[in-house]
Amino acid sequence: MRFEKGHKEQTRQRIVETAARRFRKEGLEAVGIAGLMADAGLTHGGFYAHFASKEHLVRAALNEALDQNQTRRAKALEQAPSGPEALEALVRLYLRPAHRDTPERGCAVATLIAEVARHEQETRAVLSARLASLLNQIASTLPAEMTADEKERRAIGIFGVMLGTLQMARVVTDMALSDRILESGLVTALTISNAVASQQL
Q: CB-wise, 50 or 137, nearer to a second copy?
A: 137
Sole binder of a second copy in the list 67, 76, 153, 179 (CB under 8 A)? 153
With 0-12 / 13-18 / 19 or more C-beta atoms within 10 angstroms meaning exposed / middle / buried, residue 149 is exposed
Q: CB-wise, 46 or 81, nearer to DNA?
A: 46
With 0-12 / 13-18 / 19 or more C-beta atoms within 10 angstroms meaning exposed / middle / buried, residue 17 is middle
Question: Contact between 165 and a second copy (CB under 8 A)?
Answer: yes
Question: Contact between 82 and a second copy (CB under 8 A)?
Answer: no
Sole binder of DNA in the list 27, 34, 81, 82 (CB under 7 A)? 34
Question: Contact between 31 and DNA (CB under 7 A)?
Answer: yes
Question: Contact between 44 and DNA (CB under 7 A)?
Answer: yes
- Buried b / exposed e across 52-78, counting CB within 10 Å, b at 16+? eebeebbbbbbbbbbebbeeebeebbe
The closest alpha carbon to 36, from 55, 16, 52, belongs to 16
CA triple 88-89-90, angle to 5 deg? 90
> What residues line the site for a second copy (CB under 8 A)?
25-27, 29-30, 84, 88, 103, 110-118, 121, 124-125, 127-128, 131-132, 152-154, 156-157, 159-165, 167-168, 170-174, 177, 180-181, 183-198, 200-201
Binding site for DNA (CB under 7 A): 1-5, 7-8, 10-12, 31-35, 37, 41-50, 53-55
